Amino acid sequence: MSSVKIFAGKGTNDLASRIAEIYGKPLGKSTSQKFSDGELNFNYNESIRGTDLFIIQSTTPPSDNIMELLLMIDAARRASAKYVTVVVPYFGYARQDRKDRPRVSIAAKLMANLLTAAGANRLMTMDLHAGQIQGFFDIPVDHLDGTAIFVPYIKQLNLDNLVFASPDVGGTARARSYAKHFEADMVVCDKHRKRANEIASMQVIGDVDGKDVILVDDLADTAGTICKAANLLKEKGANTVRAICTHPILSGKAYENIEASELEELITTDTIALKQKSDKIKVLTVADLFAKAIRKVHDHESISALFI
């Protein structure tokens, strides 16, 4: 069996270091530089010929992270790596997964095309914004589930009157899976947007009076939806309100929104590095989960044991 080598892009270097350490391999040596005009240049500083190569990089802004990832894949193919698995803990542009109005791009499909065209043999990611994005790829996709990270943490909270909530209608399946696992009730916060990142109105469908509510979402960008939902749930009589989200994008006034909200805590992961610390944000690491998945993929074993 070919040997494993793990490399990291600049955007996810800390997480990649933890994954490699748990796996038991040092991170591979590489160099990423910029020309004066901002053009990127990448090269591997060691032989990768005939290896099972795992490239770890979340496609977070700026777009340099995406371009660097594409260059890493291309360089790997040209350096005769046997098999290239792209590990993308946070898959960006996934919110643009359909034509919801005329004359717009389907960016998630474009991202899939770019990664495949660059030479990726396999994608490993976590909690896509929409599960059907897996169908945009003509290569195997390992879609890891955040429940393996969040369920143990929720259990140790020992909440008596647990209710799960979806911050919008589109996320009901995600919230329902948690509610089913804990044999708890579920409510929905139905929202209407004027435009992206701006909520016009929201209402709660279901009873939360005296309940300990946990909002479930895949990502938090400005955190406007989660914070507005938390405030509304408290108005409706919720005892406590927490939120879990896999990908902490947290742009714009996200940190201010979280601090000013009724949230007890926002429970998230390190698929994206936080820009600043907050007493209300609890970060759980995904390093162990990805390290186990990498080992199983390399050993040609099923990854279903990693799911709850």
- The reply, when asked if residue 39 is annotated as ligand binding, is yes
SS3 23: helix
Does residue 222 have a known ligand-binding role?
yes
Per the annotation, does 223 bind a ligand? yes
Whether 229 has a binding-site annotation, put simply, is no
Q: Any known ligand binding at 52? A: no
d(CA 132, CA 176): 17
Q: In which residue are the tokens 């996200």 written?
A: 254
Question: Which residue, among 83, 81, 74, has the nearest Cα to 47 in the 3D structure?
Answer: 81
Per DSSP (E only), the strands in 206-276 are 212-220, 240-248, 266-269
Q: Output phi, psi for 226, to 5 deg.
A: -65, -40
Residue 129 assigned to a binding site = yes
Is position 224 annotated in a ligand binding site?
yes
Residue at 106: amino acid letter: I
| 85 annotated to a ligand binding site | no
Q: Is 271 annotated in some ligand binding site?
A: no
* Cβ-Cβ contacts under 8 Å for 275 (sequence gap 6 or more): 250, 255
Which residues belong to the active site?
Answer: 191
95 is in an annotated binding site: yes
- Neighbour-count burial of 4, counting CB atoms closer than 10 A to its CB (0-12 exposed, 13-18 middle, 19+ buried): buried
Residues annotated as binding site for D-ribose 5-phosphate? 193, 217, 221-225
Residues of each annotated binding site: 37-39, 95-96, 129, 168, 193, 217, 221-225
Point out the annotated binding site for ATP. Answer: 37-39, 95-96
* Residues flagged as binding site for Mg(2+): 129, 168
